[in-house]
Amino acid sequence: MKITKAKRTGLLILAAVLAVCWIGCNRGSRQETAASASPSIPEPAVTAEPAGPDYGDPGSWAYFAEGEDKDADVFLICPLVDTRSERNAYDLNDKLKERFVNALDMEKGIYEDVGRLYSPFYRQMSMNAYRLPEPEREMTRAVAYADISAAFRWYLDHENNGRPLILAGFSQGAEMCLELMKEFFGDTLEGGALRERLITVYAIGWRVTEEDTRAYPQIVPAQGEKDLGTVVSFDCEDGSLQETIIIPAGVRTLSVNPLNWRTDGTPADRSLNLGAVMSTGAEPVPGLCGAYIGDRGELVVTDVEAGDYPPGLDLFPTGAYHVYDYLFFFTNLKQNIADRAAAYFEAQRGACLGQLLQDLLTARETPNADDAQRIDADLAAVKAAAEADYPAAKAIADHWRQVYLDPAYTLCCHGEGKLAPELDGAGIPDERTHAFVVLGYELQNGEMTDELRGRCEAAAAAARSFPNTILVCSGGATGPNNPDGHTEAGLMKQYLTEVCGIDADRIFTDERALTTAENAVNTFAILKEQGVETMTIVTSSYHQRWGQALYNALAAIYEQQYGYHARLIGNYCFDTEPSVDAFLHDDWFAVYQLGEILNLPGEQMNRFRDVYALLGQ
């Protein structure tokens, strides 16, 4: 695809600005080794030049808290825009500030949907600074970074308040992002906290070497589409070059392909390109180009002609697409930022809910005086990280405290009679809006066991005592040697009608559930459909707390999502010891299946899965 004359003129101007800014880098790059390709910025020399901006003044920011409704922050660092100063942009006048904003407005479109934007004005290196001898040039870099460091420090102290964070910059701005990583995200208490809050670093148009990652382990190159706390970096070429001022000879940069998010040479077809955007406000152009990673780590752009995308100056050879780095892949980057942010918030949600479940389990297994405070802190963390999950989390914690942690809680067990006098004081309404939910037990050779018959006898007694209520039986085709596919629920209904004399019209069945969690999920749909307002779980005594925990969680979720309110009243049990020793650890099973109901991500489920699997054996 070719660009118009007007667009080409604009791109040539942009290319000229960015290319000239690297003149100084080019002078020394051919003598650099890979180990010295990304030197640390020295302290700035003491000079009589004007001091840096006061970042307590909103006027020192191109963007200041722009997008207040966003859940994350983006600290966005402007590329070079000063083409006139001798060294640094000491005179941050209105005209120069306007150039900052104009340059940032193009990149802003990638990030603005995800984050509240902060972008400081700073005494950046000017174009002329790159013509200085190396020692002086390094001092100008130090001045520029001193401002970025000060701005970031002010932002952390006054604005961040523990919010998730994205660092972003192009070209000179990308280099500054990496320097922030070196200074602030290292092995310190603050650095650890910042790494936990870091979504991603977009350091586009700069290099990241293996030497960088060894010297600064906090710099972790992205390996895929949604990994968190990593650095997304690449620089574009046409595949014909052996060196550029961005990737000098002898240097290999660690890149990720923004189309297929691979770090090897696997080509990404142009069909994966969601849309290049070549100027501010322009419509995306899908399928403009494909890309693959070359031997030097360069991102080789395919399906475009170098003549249509000129570098602008002889300093950049034909085929160097540096100025188009994010323009070519604008829409993919925008989508990736949204995906990574979503992955971050899902991970935070999972971590907080997983910690709550872990602490509930710990309080049951090894109680101590700090349990209540720890659980309350977990709930506060859930509310902060995943407010939508807070009602269910609160219901789970409150119910757990009642049935697992309160020694005064008692189980109501069926006696020998045909009725259920044990339920007389439970407040159960004798109405169709109340359901006795009968949970199944694994079949043997396609037939009911004595334990399952015991649960049915308890349910029948409750049904006789409250003749206007309904029953919901749940359980699928389980057990070995069940060639006819008999289901727990089907056999329970048959037993309740033919042996216990309960009217079949009162009994509803779920014949799919294979776990207690599936019992809860499947029967709640039936309860909602039948307009049930209250329920009592009927199961074995060792299974009662486990079952209640799941149904109570579903009750909170259904109320929040569907406005359907159903609450547990009492409990009724067939009193028996578990035939499988693992079921003595019912709290472990309950916690694991609560994680399933809450749809926790895999890394959180793993903390319970191993023990759950061991118990299941």
User: 340, 366, 383 — which closes off a domain?
Assistant: 340
- Please indicate, yes or no, whether residues 336 and 416 belong to a single structural domain of this protein: no
Same domain flag for 227 and 336? yes
Q: Out of 45-54, 376-385, 578-587, pick the least confident.
A: 45-54
Residue 14 pLDDT > 50: no
Q: Considering its fold, how many domains does the chain have in total?
A: 2
- Judge whether 610 lies within some domain: no
Point out the least confidently predicted range of 34-38, 54-58, 546-550.
34-38
Q: Is residue 415 domain-shared with residue 303, that is, in the same domain?
A: no
Give the model confidence (pLDDT) of 212-248 as tens digits: 999 999 999 999 999 999 999 999 999 999 999 899 9
Residue 375 lies in a domain: no
- pLDDT for 43 equals 58
- Residues 294 and 234: beta-carbon distance below 8 Å: no
Confidence class for position 256, pLDDT limits 50, 70, 90: very high
Q: Which amino acid, one-letter code, is at 185?
A: F
Which residue shows structure tokens 């690449």?
234
Question: Where does the pLDDT of residue 39 fall: very low under 50, low under 70, confident under 90, or very high at 90 and above?
Answer: very low
Residue partners of 468: CB distance under 8 A and separation at least 6: 430, 431, 432
What residues contact residue 135 under an 8 Å CB cut-off, 6+ apart?
none
**Are residues 12 and 142 located together in one domain of the fold?**
yes
* Rounded-to-integer distance, Cα 402 and Cα 425, Å: 18
pLDDT (average), residues 274-298: 95
Q: Convert the pLDDT of each residue in 528-584 to its tens digit.
A: 999 999 999 999 999 999 999 999 999 999 999 999 999 999 899 999 999 888 888
- Residue 47 confidence (pLDDT): 52
Quote the CA–CA distance of 535 and 47 in Å, as a whole number.
78
User: Is residue 402, in this structure, part of any structural domain at all?
Assistant: no
Are 419 and 314 members of one domain?
no
Question: Which of 288, 320, 340 is the last residue before a domain boundary?
Answer: 340
Q: What is the pLDDT of residue 455?
A: 97
Structure tokens at 554: 């579903």
Residues in the chain: 617
Which pLDDT score, from 0 to 100, does residue 610 have? Answer: 63
Spatial CA neighbour of 36 closest among 329, 249, 243, 218: 249
With cut-offs at 50, 70 and 90, classify the pLDDT of residue 365.
confident
Domain boundary among 340, 357, 390: 340
C-alpha to C-alpha distance for 99 and 81, rounded to whole angstroms: 6
User: How would residue 249 be classed by pLDDT, with cut points 50, 70 and 90?
Assistant: very high
Q: pLDDT band for 41, please (50, 70, 90 cuts).
A: low
530 assigned to some structural domain: yes
- The neighbouring-strand residues paired with 351 are none
Residue 404 falls within a domain, yes or no? no
Closest to 166 measured CA to CA, from 149, 183, 181: 181
Give the number of other Cβ atoms within 10 Å of residue 609's Cβ.
Answer: 13
Two tokens, residue 569: 């009243």
Which tokens hold the place of 614? 């061991």
- Phi-psi region for residue 406, left (φ > 0), alpha (ψ -120 to 50) or beta? beta
Q: Could you tell me the CA-to-CA distances from 84 to 50, 74, 136, 425 in Å, in that order?
A: 17, 29, 17, 87
The band of 9, judged by pLDDT with boundaries at 50, 70 and 90, is very low
DSSP string, 246-258: SS-TT-------T
Q: For 614, what's the count of Cα atoms within 13 Å in the CB-facing half-sphere?
A: 8
Decide if pLDDT at 36 tops 80: no
Instruction: Say which residue, 548 or 15, is predicted with more confidence.
Output: 548
Answer for the pair 131, 28: CB distance below 8 angstroms, yes or no: no
Query: pLDDT by residue (tens digit) across 300-346?
Result: 999 999 999 998 766 688 999 999 999 999 999 999 999 999 999 99
Q: How does residue 29 score in pLDDT terms, banded at 50, 70 and 90? A: very low
Helices (H), 295-367: 330-365
Residues 215, 328 within the same domain: yes
42: containing domain: 5-46+54-340
Q: Which of 555, 571, 566, 607 is nearest to 396 (CA)?
A: 555
What does the pLDDT look like over 106-127, one tens digit per residue?
A: 999 999 999 999 999 999 998 8
71 shares its domain with 186: yes
Placement of tokens 């100063």 in the chain: 85
Q: Are residues 232 and 115 in the same domain?
A: yes
Check residue 572 and give its pLDDT: 97
Q: Do residue 298 and residue 426 come from a single domain?
A: no
Is 321 strand, coil or helix?
coil
Give the mean model confidence (pLDDT) for residues 459-482: 96
Taking phi first (over 0 means left), then psi (-120 to 50 degrees means alpha), and beta for anything else, what does residue 297 get?
Answer: left
Judgement on whether residues 306 and 428 belong to the same structural domain of the protein: no
pLDDT for 127 equals 80
Residue 418 CB coordination number (10 Å): 12
Parallel/antiparallel/unpaired status of strands 115-120 and 61-66: antiparallel
Eight-class DSSP state of 159:
I
Rounded to an integer, the average pLDDT of 350-367 is: 92
Using CA atoms, how far apart are residues 111 and 293, in angstroms rounded to an integer?
Answer: 24
In angstroms, the CA 45 to CA 605 distance is: 53
CA pair distance 52, 147, nearest whole angstrom: 6
* Residue 23, pLDDT above cutoff 90: no
- C-alpha–C-alpha distance, residues 255 and 259, integer Å: 12
Model pLDDT, residue 289: 98
Query: CA-CA distance, 185 to 196, in Å (whole number)?
Result: 10
CATH code for position 551:
3.40.50.620
Phi, psi of 502 (to 5 degrees): -85, 135
Q: How many CB atoms lie within 10 A of CB 187?
A: 10
Establish if 613 belongs to a structural domain: no
pLDDT in tens, 380-400: 999 988 999 999 999 999 999
**Three-class secondary structure of residue 230 per DSSP:** strand
The more confidently predicted of residues 163 and 583 is 163
What's 320's DSSP letter? Answer: B
The reported pLDDT for the residue numbered 374 is 95
**CB neighbourhood size of 99 (10 A):** 17
Query: Can you state the percent helix, strand and coil of the chain, rounding each to 5?
Result: 45, 15, 40
Statement to judge: residues 85 and 176 lie in one domain? yes
372 part of a folded domain: no
Is residue 207 packed enough to be buried (19+ CB in 10 Å), middle (13-18) or exposed (0-12)?
buried
In a domain, 484, yes or no: yes
Half-sphere exposure in the Cβ direction for 579 (13 Å, CA): 8
Choose among 233, 161, 169, 225: nearest CA to 197. 161
**For the CA atoms of 203, 204, 210, 214, what is the dihedral angle to 10 degrees?**
0
Q: How far apart are CA 253 and CA 237, in angstroms?
A: 13
Q: What pLDDT is attached to residue 51?
A: 87
Q: Where are the alpha helices (DSSP H) in 208-262?
A: 210-215
Q: Mean pLDDT of all residues in the chain?
A: 89
Dist. CA 139–CA 123, nearest whole Å: 12
Better pLDDT: 43 or 174 = 174
**pLDDT at 433 exceeding the cut of 50:** yes
When pLDDT is averaged across residues 251-265 and rounded to a whole number, the result is 97
Check whether residue 331 and residue 428 sit in a common domain.
Answer: no
Q: At what angle do helices 172-184 and 189-197 cross, to 10 degrees?
A: 130
pLDDT value of residue 606: 76
Q: Is 287 left (phi over 0), alpha (psi -120 to 50) or beta?
A: left
Q: What is the pTM for the complete model shown?
A: 0.83
